């Protein structure tokens, strides 16, 4: 990764309390931190995780099965290294 780059990869099903989360991600973005989300499970709240990724100027990946998580994370790290 480039020196000084800060990026969060947030893996979740999105089924947790949401109050203030998108606003916190936006604050991180203003501080130079980008946020990518990974919606893990077929029942993940993709809409909420997409909102987080948009606020964090990152990407949202949908991973319906955990066995695909490794591939998605490796691809995300490759993208960050560019």
Position with higher pLDDT, 1 vs 67: 67
User: In residues, how long is the chain?
Assistant: 82
Q: Is the pTM of this model over 0.75?
A: yes
Per-residue pLDDT at 50 exceeds 60: yes
Strands (E), the chain: 6-12, 33-40, 60-63
Task: Quote the pLDDT of residue 7.
Answer: 93
- What token pair was written down for 1? 């990764």
Task: Quote the pLDDT of residue 44.
Answer: 94
3-state secondary structure 16-27: CCCCCHHHHHHH
């Amino acid at each position: 990764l480039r020196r000084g780059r800060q990026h969060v990869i947030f893996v979740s099903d999105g089924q947790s309390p949401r109050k203030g989360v998108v606003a916190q991600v936006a604050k991180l973005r203003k501080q130079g931190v980008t946020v990518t989300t990974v919606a893990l499970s077929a029942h993940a709240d993709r809409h909420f995780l997409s909102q987080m990724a948009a606020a964090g100027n990152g990407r949202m990946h949908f991973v319906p099965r955990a066995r695909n998580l490794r591939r998605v994370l490796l691809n995300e790290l490759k993208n960050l290294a560019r």
